[in-house]
Amino acid sequence: MEVIKNIINGEEAPAVSGEAFENINPATEEVIAEVASSGAEDVNKAVESAQAAFDGGWGAMPAAARAAALKKFCAVLTEHAEDLAKTESLDVGKPIKFATYMDAPLTSMLFDYAAGICDKVRGTYYQVDDNYLCYTCHEPMGVAACIIPWNFPLLITAIKVAPALAAGNTVILKPSKDTPMSANLVGKLALEAGLPPGVLNVVQGPGRVTGQALAEHPDVPKISFTGSTQVGIQVMKTGAEQVKSMTMELGGKNPNIIFDDADLEAAVSGSLFTGFINSGQICTSGSRILVQESIAKEFTDALVAKAAELVVGPPSEMTTDQGPIITEEHYKEVLDFIALGEKECETIYKASLPEDLDKGFFVPVHIFGLQDTSCALFRREVFGPILTITTFKDEDEAVALANDSMYGLSASFWTKDFGRVNRMARAIKSGIIWGNTCHYVTPDAPYGGYKHSGVGVELGVEGLKDFMKTKTVYLNAGPDKMALK
C-alpha cells in the first residue's frame, strides 16, 4: 500500500505525531494509501521552510528566472501526464477519459500560462507633477496557503499553485483528506523539476486540524481557499483575526436555462454534461435546469433519452462516463437528497446501476421535476448526479428564477436570439456566464463567484495579481512641498 507523507523543505516526512489515516478508493472501497495526518507542528515546519525559501531567493528572483523554473516544472508535469491522470482517477473515482483529456492537459496549460505571464505583470506610471515620479509595483506576499477540495484536486492545485509561484510566493498546498494523491505527486514532481526545497510544500491532513492551523498561522499572509461556503466562512473568520488576504472559491447552485428558440440538440448535450460530469460533483454544475414551458416536454424527453445512454462503471475504463461519489459519508448525503426528491418532487427519470457494481459509492442518475422553489433541491448544493427541471413562461421569469439563490457562481443559457444573449449575460448575478455553451474556461480569463460563491478571482492576470500586494511609490526630485509652515 502506498504511504503518503508530507513534503516539507524538499523532503518527505511522516507527521511529527506519527499519526496517519486511510485513503479509500471510492470505486472499490479498498484502502489504497496511508496518509500523514498533520498537526500544528507539521504546519509550523512547513511555514518555516516556505518562509526560508522565500527569503532565500524565490521571492526576490528575477521574474524571468522564475518563468524558466516554472517552464521546467510544466515540462515535467506534461511528461508525467499519464501518471497524474491515473492517480487522479484512482483517488477521486473520476472516469479516466476525463482525467486524461481534461484534468492532466489543463494542468500543464495552467503552469504554461503562469510561466508565460510571470515576467509580464507590470506596474503603472502616474502623471503627477514635474518633480514627482509616481508608480506602482506588484510584489509577492510571502507564504501562500492553498487549501483545496476533493472534486478536482489536480486541476485546482494547478489553478492556485501555478500563479502563486509565478507571483513569487512560496506555497503550502493542503489537499482534502479524501484526495491526497495528486497533490503529493505534484509535490514530488516539483522536486524532480528542480524547484528549490521549500518553494512548494505539501501538508496532508484533516481540514479542521491541518487547514485550521494554516489559516491561523501568523506567518501565512495569503490564503487561497476552494471548498464549501460553510467552511470558507469559517476560514475567513479565522484569517480575519490577522487581516490575511483571502481568495474564496466556494459553492454554487447554478441555473442552466433553455429557451424555446435554443438549438435543442446542443442544449440537451450541454445539460447532460453540466449535470453529470464528475458525477455532478462540480461547483459549476448547472444542476438547476430552467426550461421554457413551450418546449419542456420535448427537451425533457430528449434529456432523459441521453441520460439513459450514460455508462456507469469502473473509473479506470475508457468507456465509463460516470464514476462513484467521493466518500461513503457524501454518498449517504446524496441518497438523502434523492429521498427528498422522491417525496417532494416529480420523479422524471431514475437510472439503474449495473448489477456487477456491488462495491463502491455509485449513485444512479436522477432527474426531478420541481415547481416549488422553496424545496431544498432547488436551493442547496447537492454535489451528486441529480438534476431538477423547473419550467418558466418568459425571459423575466427565467431571470428571476436564475437569481433566486444565495449563490452566484456560474450560469448557462441556450438561445439563438443574440439580443437575449446580451440581456441575460447582464441580468444574471453570477461570476461566470456561459451563453450557448457550458464549462468553457481559458487560463487567460478571470474566474470567480458572486454572492456566497466567493470573493476574489483566479486565473488570468487578475488571478496572478490576487497573489500579490500593490505598492505605490512617490519619488520627489525637486524641493519638498510637504512643509507645515
Under rule CB under 6 A, residue 456 binds ligand NAD = no
Span from 12-20, 28-36, 77-85, 224-232 in contact with ligand NAD (CB under 6 A): 224-232
Judged by beta carbon, residue 348 or residue 428, the one nearer ligand NAD is 428
Binding residues among 266-295 for ligand NAD as defined by CB under 6 A: 283
Span from 65-73, 142-150, 351-359, 392-400 in contact with ligand NAD (CB under 6 A): 142-150
The one among 92, 164, 189, 215 contacting ligand NAD by CB under 6 A: 215
The least CB distance from residue 462 to ligand NAD, in Å, is 14
Judged by beta carbon, residue 145 or residue 199, the one nearer ligand NAD is 145
Task: Characterize the bridge pairing of strands 288-292 and 386-392.
Answer: parallel
User: Is 134 one of the annotated active-site residues of the chain?
Assistant: no
Q: Which of 88, 118, 249, 381 is catalytic?
A: 249
Under rule CB under 6 A, residue 176 binds ligand NAD = yes
The one among 169, 234, 247, 256 contacting ligand NAD by CB under 6 A: 234
- Phi, psi (deg, nearest 5) at residue 220: -115, 95
Angle at alpha carbon of residue 438, lines to 434 and 444, rounded to 5°: 70
Judged by beta carbon, residue 66 or residue 253, the one nearer ligand NAD is 253
Is 19 exposed, middle or buried (CB count within 10 Å of its CB: 0-12, 13-18, 19+)?
middle
Under rule CB under 6 A, residue 231 binds ligand NAD = yes
Strand ranges in 5-64 using DSSP code E only, listed in sequence order: 6-8, 11-13, 20-24, 31-36
Span from 124-132, 147-155, 306-314, 397-405 in contact with ligand NAD (CB under 6 A): 147-155
Judged by beta carbon, residue 168 or residue 448, the one nearer ligand NAD is 448
Query: Dihedral angle at the C-alpha atoms of 253, 259, 264, 268, nearest 10 degrees?
Result: 10
Who contacts 318 (Cβ-Cβ below 8 Å, separation ≥6)? 96, 97
User: Residue 189's closest CA among 151, 162, 220, 219?
Assistant: 162
Residue 439 has a CB neighbour count (10 Å cut-off) of: 17
Binding residues among 62-91 for ligand NAD as defined by CB under 6 A: none
The least CB distance from residue 208 to ligand NAD, in Å, is 5
Query: Dihedral angle at the C-alpha atoms of 370, 373, 379, 385, nearest 10 degrees?
Result: 0
Q: Which helix (H) or strand (E) covers residue 398, if one does?
A: helix 395-403
> With b meaning 16 or more CB within 10 Å and e meaning fewer, what string describes 155-181?
bbbbbbbbbbbbbbbbbbbbbbbbbbb
Q: 333-372 mask for ligand NAD (x: CB under 6 A)?
A: ----------------------------------------
Span from 47-55, 173-181, 388-396, 438-446 in contact with ligand NAD (CB under 6 A): 173-181
Query: Dihedral angle at the C-alpha atoms of 57, 58, 64, 69, nearest 10 degrees?
Result: 120
Judged by beta carbon, residue 215 or residue 268, the one nearer ligand NAD is 215
The least CB distance from residue 212 to ligand NAD, in Å, is 4
Under rule CB under 6 A, residue 163 binds ligand NAD = no
User: Residue 43's closest CA among 243, 220, 182?
Assistant: 220
Under rule CB under 6 A, residue 151 binds ligand NAD = yes
Under rule CB under 6 A, residue 252 binds ligand NAD = yes
DSSP per-residue string spanning 405-441: SSEESEEEEE-S-HHHHHHHHHHS--SEEEES--S--
The one among 201, 212, 254, 278 contacting ligand NAD by CB under 6 A: 212
Judged by beta carbon, residue 384 or residue 449, the one nearer ligand NAD is 449
C-alpha cell read off for 250? 466556494
The least CB distance from residue 295 to ligand NAD, in Å, is 29
Give the span between the Cα atoms of 195 and 67, in whole angstroms: 12
Under rule CB under 6 A, residue 449 binds ligand NAD = yes
Judged by beta carbon, residue 159 or residue 296, the one nearer ligand NAD is 159
Question: 75 to each of 80, 109, 115, 446, how far by Cα in Å?
Answer: 9, 10, 11, 24
Q: 408-437 mask for ligand NAD (x: CB under 6 A)?
A: -x----------------------------
82 in Cβ contact with 100 (< 8 Å): yes
User: Residue 306's closest CA among 291, 317, 321?
Assistant: 321
User: Residue 433's closest CA among 449, 416, 450, 412?
Assistant: 412
Judged by beta carbon, residue 138 or residue 253, the one nearer ligand NAD is 253
Under rule CB under 6 A, residue 454 binds ligand NAD = yes
Q: How many residues bind ligand NAD (CB under 6 A)?
A: 31
Residue numbers of the site for ligand NAD (CB under 6 A)?
Answer: 147-152, 174, 176-177, 207-208, 211-212, 215, 226-228, 231, 234-235, 249-252, 283, 381, 383, 409, 449, 453-454
Residues involved in catalysis: 249, 283
